[in-house]
Structure 1
Amino acid sequence: MPRPPRSSQFDASEVCIVHAVQRCVRRAFLAGLDHVSGKDYSFRKEWIRRRMEALASAFAVDVLSYAILSNHLHQIIRNRPDVAALWSDREVATRWLKVYPGRRIEEHLAEPTENDVKALCADKERLAEVRKRLSDISWFMRALAEPIARMANKQEERTGRFWEGRFKAQRIVDEAGLLACSMYVDLNPVRAAIAESPEKSVHTSAYDRIEADKGRQIISAAFDLKPIPTEEAGQKIRDTPLDQLRKERKAKRRNPTGRKVRRDGWLAPMKLKPDKLVSDAEVHTHGFRSSDRGFLNLEWADYKQLLNWTAKQSVAGATTELPKPLAKTITELGIDASMWRDLVWNWQKYFGKSSCVGSPESMKANAKRTGHHHCRGQASVSCCFS
């Protein structure tokens, strides 16, 4: 059965949450230890994480959860056209040109100048299209995948595909589906038996939040959202040797803003603020992410407790009882607490071939929205909901 068209799953003009999966070509371990050649490409996981972090600072897209494995990656992302609508024309132009500087005579500079920003601002039709693209999940994924593929091919001095094809997308249609999907994503390394616990699952959102709790910071990969003054750029090109310009550009790519950030500072906060209206965009103003809006009615401490409990239920039929406060939280979302472990650990059984994720009722409503009678997986997942 072919995958549904993107237009039926999400729209850049409306806020929605998507579980995106991008696999390496032939599911080869192109970001891990290649058992055929014996080469270890695990360092590429940090390439992917840093690129994701950089894009989170420029796009109107919130990264809620993620996990990067040796042959694929998972993300839960939320597009924010409401945030993009509040950016000034200058902000939109600068953000776009930071991600896509275009063909430039001074390739060693490759930073947008004031004149570049003004030129894009003057083209109102083009600017409107760019504003829409900055809140488009497909453009976010494109901006993530292409540079990683080019870097890997350049490193290995070869051509061809790095990624399997277009990313798989599942629309998340309610909070029950979002909680279960977030747990599934964070526990991917544990499920794959490459990490013993979330605390050791490097390159996951859970690991970043756990490390941030300990006060850990990282060098920020966020774009420096300031164009270069045109006169300064021209003078620098005239007065600075080419080799030095290239070295400076390489150094700036490592830390564009010269700042550090909490390990999870580029991720969307977890807890939704009860005093905030749904219409409030909660625009982030420090340059690390698009907004400060949370995504669950759950404190991080409670999420972590549930995450650790679920991680320990690796053996089918495990009888450890779910703590009552967490069982209550799950039950309030309509999930059968006794089926929680099965829902997360056997995710592929329930949602592996579905175009959306959520309770049977929400999946049915989403099917109706797209002109269908039901969603694939809707019947099988009903046993997990009360």
Structure 2
Amino acid sequence: MTTPRAQKVSLDITPYYHCVSRCVRHSFLCGEDQFSGKSYEHRRLWVENRILALAQVYCIDICAYAVMHNHYHLVVHINQEKAAQLTNAEVIERWSVEHQLPTIIQRYLHLPLTPTENRQCEVIIEAWRQRLWSLSWLMKELNEEIAKQANQEDHCTGHFWEGRFKSQALLDKKALLAAMTYVDLNPIRAKVSPTPETSQHTSVKKRLDSLENHQPTPAGLHSFTGYEHQDNPAGIPFRLMDYLEWVDFVGRQIREDKPGYIDAHLPAIVSRLSLNQTECLKLCTHLEQNRCGWIGPPEQLLIVKTFFNKQRIHGIYC
């Protein structure tokens, strides 16, 4: 039986999620169709640009992404606290980037209103505030725009995406690390790219390019903040260089035909998170091979099961 989205995405459990959307038609989202010979490579940039643009509007931080030939991956952090701290004017400003404002809201910004009109505007603005941290709204606006562009280019109508997006709750830092690694290494596992630095339209490639330009965090991506005791906890709880070393290490393990060898020393993040090397490698390579909605340690999965009053849940231990 399908699990309701409200149970799959619950901030009482975790703010981190891994999402996947797949194309429904035989024609590719991206890449080259071997039957017609037509290239759809340019659509990868559509998806990547749309992801990064919506990240500037929504209070949902993009930790990792990868745009593949018929699907894309996202790892996100839902920042409800950020949305709650926005002023009404800031909510309106963000919403207006992607939507036309109703007349009453335009008047609210520039003209005095009656108490009844003010209350009506407050209701509208609060609904927008809720949407700014809604994962369903982010995915809806991402997928609708790409589907519209693709249908126009293909001169057809109908569904472009395979139903609703799939989501997995990431219950702890190990699950977050595994999901981000899995996503950033997708082109390498598919043998589309040989290394992370050549993996076009991925977050790891975007971060590496940004480092070359002496900018630690690219626009639209969530920043790495390192250890939790540092002054700025609002970010991915790893050091960027540790993460890049870890991605390279795991990439060598799952690409048996890749030249090179594994250094004896592992990235500091391994010991810091008390990762079991074999278990984490298995998790990084089998993230989507099991029907699961939650990823985390046994004690966290038990909390999820108790929270939703379920006798059984589909989860992966890590």
TM-score (norm 1): 0.72
Aligned position for 1:242: none
Aligned position for 1:313: 253
CA distance in 2, matches of 1:206, 1:11: 27
How many residues of Structure 1 are paired with residues of Structure 2 in the alignment?
310
Query: How far 1:34 moved relative to its partner?
Result: 1.4
- Whether 1:68 aligns to 2:9 is no
* Matched position secondary structure for 1:25: coil
* Equivalent pair of 1:208/1:264 in contact (CA under 8 Å): yes
- Whether 1:361 aligns to 2:299 is yes
Query: How far 1:66 moved relative to its partner?
Result: 0.5
Aligned position for 1:253: none
Aligned position for 2:219: 265
Query: How far 1:215 moved relative to its partner?
Result: 0.4
* Matched position secondary structure for 1:372: coil
Query: How far 1:127 moved relative to its partner?
Result: 1.3
CA distance in 1, matches of 2:137, 2:229: 31
Identity %: 28
Residues 45 and 308 (structure 1), Cα distance of their counterparts in 2 relative to 1, 3 Å cut: same
Aligned position for 1:209: 207
CA distance in 2, matches of 1:190, 1:266: 23
- Whether 1:5 aligns to 2:4 is yes
Query: How far 1:27 moved relative to its partner?
Result: 6.4
Aligned position for 2:193: 195
Q: Which amino acid aligns with 1:346?
A: H
Residues 315 and 45 (structure 1), Cα distance of their counterparts in 2 relative to 1, 3 Å cut: closer
Residues 248-304 of structure 1, C-alpha deviations (whole Å, 9 max, x = no match): xxxxxxxxxxxxxx87222000224633476xxxxxxxxxxxxxx3112x2111111
Residues 43 and 115 (structure 1), Cα distance of their counterparts in 2 relative to 1, 3 Å cut: farther
* Matched position secondary structure for 2:75: strand
Aligned position for 2:85: 86
Aligned position for 2:235: 294
CA distance in 2, matches of 1:26, 1:216: 41
Query: How far 1:12 moved relative to its partner?
Result: 6.9
Q: Which amino acid aligns with 1:274?
A: H
Counterpart among 170, 174, 177 of residue 175 in structure 2:
177
Alignment of 1:147-162 (within 5 A): 147-162=145-160
Residues 2-25 of structure 1, C-alpha deviations (whole Å, 9 max, x = no match): 331111122479861111101011
TM-score (norm 2): 0.87
* Equivalent pair of 1:94/1:117 in contact (CA under 8 Å): no
Q: Which amino acid aligns with 1:160?
A: G
Residues 110-162 of structure 1, C-alpha deviations (whole Å, 9 max, x = no match): xx995475599761111111110111010011111101111111122211111
List runs of 5+ in structure 2 lacking aligned partners: 112-116
Residues 22 and 345 (structure 1), Cα distance of their counterparts in 2 relative to 1, 3 Å cut: same
Q: Which amino acid aligns with 1:134?
A: L
Aligned position for 1:345: 285
CA distance in 1, matches of 2:284, 2:131: 33
Alignment of 1:198-237 (within 5 A): 198-215=196-213
CA distance in 2, matches of 1:103, 1:45: 33
- Whether 1:274 aligns to 2:229 is yes
Q: Which amino acid aligns with 2:85?
A: L
Q: Which amino acid aligns with 1:267?
A: L
Aligned position for 1:95: 94
Query: How far 1:170 moved relative to its partner?
Result: 0.6
Alignment of 1:36-51 (within 5 A): 36-51=35-50
CA distance in 1, matches of 2:41, 2:225: 32
Alignment of 1:229-248 (within 5 A): none
* Equivalent pair of 1:363/1:374 in contact (CA under 8 Å): no
Q: Which amino acid aligns with 2:166?
A: K
Residues 334 and 275 (structure 1), Cα distance of their counterparts in 2 relative to 1, 3 Å cut: closer
CA distance in 2, matches of 1:130, 1:366: 29
Aligned position for 1:19: 18
Q: Which amino acid aligns with 2:71?
A: H
Q: Which amino acid aligns with 1:363?
A: L
List runs of 5+ in structure 1 lacking aligned partners: 105-111, 218-261, 279-292
Aligned position for 2:161: 163
